[in-house]
Amino acid sequence: MQGLLRATLLLATLGVCAPALDAQPAPPDTAQLRQALAGVLGDDFEIVRAELHAGLRERSGTFWLAHLRPRRAGDYVFRYTYAYIDRFRSERPLYTHVEHTAAIRIGEAGCLRRAGRDACLGDVVIVPVVAGDAVGPFAGHVFELTRRGPGQDLVSTQVEERVDPRSTAAAPHLRFLGTQLDELPHRRLGMTIEAYAVFEAAEPGALTLTLSPGGREVPVVVVERGAPVTVLLRNEQVRSYHATERFASHTGNQYLTDVLLLQPGDRISLPFLQRTVRGRDFTAEERGAFRGAVPEITVQPFHVQVEERFNGWIAPHLPVPRGSP
């Protein structure tokens, strides 16, 4: 009799829980998000489009991706706050709100994106907004946009160990200039030396570059200077806080991709060789061997691993020019 009773209770419990397991979380109110964001953009940005993304390997949650086109150049601070739902401590949550803050630096049309500018006039910036988690949406989003001034481009001071603009498999889109060494002394005796291959963007095109040893694949797109592109906002600061108990924590997010988006004249340094010694310094012979190291450069047709990092957010919007390998 007891066994029958247990079985009946188990079946009843499973019957109650089964629909909850199968239920899909409610989608975020994207119309409300769009209206709230549009209300603070003014004459500085316009919303070109928006889309929902979820289930990233890099980071869980549901994101509302706002594609913004700048209308004037300047340095901006973009901030939004939402009401956080603590799924595990609902009666006494650690946090009640989460605030995200990001700098967006917009240059004039045709600006140097790798010299202190995130985007130029004519470009589109994808701004990720946390809209929910695996259980359901978050609400109460409040947006804020502040313009701090016109901004100023940075000047690149990159120095190569040697210059050797030879033709490689990456030509004509990339010129191999040579190698650069970084030496990192350890707090205790020891040192790490890393060798970088230095390239300069030349003709427009798209390719996937592989450097050996190391075997790292790097998707590269070179566009004409002044050609509009879509870029992903890369960094933000996050503050989680409790509205009444004066408790807060601070962290940061990075929305990084594998794709390098370049203009002719841009220079990049890609690591291909590293070695560490402990308890001593490198000998002169070891340093000489590193200085003479040259990577094996191979090229494949352009491709992006969309399941890695945040590549899937930017891949559909990449301007892959004709004539790419």
Asked if 201 contacts 242 with a C-beta cutoff of 8 angstroms, the reply is no
Pair (125, 39) in one structural domain: yes
Asked, for residue 133, whether it belongs to a domain, the answer is yes
Asked if 205 contacts 211 with a C-beta cutoff of 8 angstroms, the reply is no
Write out the chain's pLDDT in tens, 325 residues: 444 444 433 334 444 333 344 567 788 999 999 999 999 999 999 999 999 998 787 788 999 999 999 999 999 999 999 999 988 887 888 899 999 999 999 999 999 888 788 999 999 999 999 999 989 999 999 999 999 877 665 444 344 444 455 678 899 999 999 988 898 999 888 999 999 999 999 999 999 999 998 888 999 999 999 999 999 999 999 999 998 888 899 999 999 999 999 999 999 999 999 999 998 988 888 888 888 888 999 999 999 999 999 999 999 999 986 556 6
Asked, for residue 23, whether it belongs to a domain, the answer is no
Please state the domain count of the chain: 2
- Element (DSSP H or E) covering residue 63: strand 62-70
User: What would you report as the CA-atom Rg of the chain, rounded to the nearest whole angstrom?
Assistant: 25
Report the alpha-carbon distance of residue 232 to residue 124 in Å, rounded.
Answer: 9
Pair (81, 209) in one structural domain: no
What range does the domain containing 187 cover?
174-225+263-317
Asked, for residue 168, whether it belongs to a domain, the answer is no
Pair (137, 80) in one structural domain: yes
